[in-house]
Amino acid sequence: MSTAPQVAASHTLAEPDHPAVGVATGLLNSYVPGARFLGTPTRTLLGEGVHSEVPHDERPPALRVAATLAAARSAGHTAPLVMGAIPFDQDAPAALAVPAVLHTAPPLTADPLVALPADPPSRTDMTVHQEPAPEQYAASVAAAVERMWKGEFSKVVLARTLRIDATDPFDVAAMLQRLARRDPSGYTFALPTGPDRTLLGASPELLVSRHGSRVVANPLAGSVPRSDDLAEDVRRAAALLESAKDLHEHAVVVNAVEESLARYCTDLTVPVRPTLVRTATMWHLSTTVTGRLRSPDTAALELACALHPTPAVCGTPTDTARRVIRESEGFDRGFFTGMVGWGDADGDGEWVVTIRCAEAEPTSLRLYAGAGVVAASDPEAETAETAAKFRTFLGAVGARL
């Protein structure tokens, strides 16, 4: 018999007058590999056990999830919720399940205890392999730029990976702690994707959320690494807001998001100019798109699948960009640049672009980072951008390039 979900965290509050103190970080502290953790700006979720898994078949992901949630509700699960990950290739097997027990809490940013530092990485022997080598990646960028000048396509997102091998098993729970406490206002996740395999990361980018009839998307495109020097950091942020190359790249993504959501939404609001979002390592151009659903039957995951892949993770035209990615990258992206998130039986949910992430196995990690390549791109600058994006995870591991 399945276990009904718990809809409140099972941790004792330190101070009754401040109900958020210790609740969200309590869920973070309770995470163990095999569980499902997701921290967003609206909530903190910890799923334990499996009530039911979403099957892999020919149906679109949104239909499979809806059927699984309906079956869970019929089986007595009073408030079923799916958590998990969908790959870059939506036709590939996903890792989605209804937890047997669900703990919820306010967002990590509402918990003052999140400001307490995580334990630093323990020392261990690690070997870092860059795949492909930086020079090879830069050559792929240069080749793509040359093809764009010939008019074959207008943008492609090219990625590279790092493989980190260690003599001792990685402490996945400790890595999650460092990711969450470093950027608590983002989207932090740790989700099982196979036996002894965990997808974890800290993404800054909301693909789409739905709460009732309200829809929000927050595409990010156009980036620059941050600086430890305050004056230089501010200069870089200001320059990004005026960069013709980055503004063009950003506009392409926003236009694609607006076009996709217009089929499902009314009252779409799209700001004329982007603003800035910062993480611990990067500045990003950001636009928040909002709208109202035309139909209450449209679930958050259906919207996410309609948006994915945006030009921010693939390119444009989409089919051509996919082909260039296959020809240029030389590896399977798997869950990288797919989506992670949650969805409930009422259609509400939050789905996030799977970036700043890694897949962890006992003694190995596979890290991913990509950069948007347009005709004005400089191969060395794009290589440096991917290196800066790797820093999010390298800091959690205690490794360096």
**Annotated catalytic sites, by residue?**
155, 205
Q: How far is CA 348 from CA 66, 167, 300, 317, in A?
A: 11, 43, 6, 30
Q: How many CB atoms lie within 10 A of CB 228?
A: 6
369 DSSP β-pair partners: 160
**Residues with Cβ within 8 Å of residue 90, at least 6 apart in sequence:** 60, 61, 305, 308, 338
Phi, psi of 164 (to 5 degrees): -110, 120
CA–CA gap between residue 301 and residue 344 (Å, rounded): 10
Question: Based on C-alpha coordinates, what's the Rg of the chain?
Answer: 20
CB 152 within 8 A of CB 320: yes
**Is the sign of the CA dihedral 220, 226, 231, 235 positive or negative?**
negative
Q: How far apart are CA 164 and CA 120, in angstroms?
A: 18
> Order of strands across the sheet with 282-286?
220-225, 282-286, 275-278
* Cβ burial, residue 119 (10 Å; 0-12/13-18/19+): exposed
Q: What residues does 353 pair with on adjacent strands?
A: 339
Q: Which two tokens stand for residue 270?
A: 């799209």
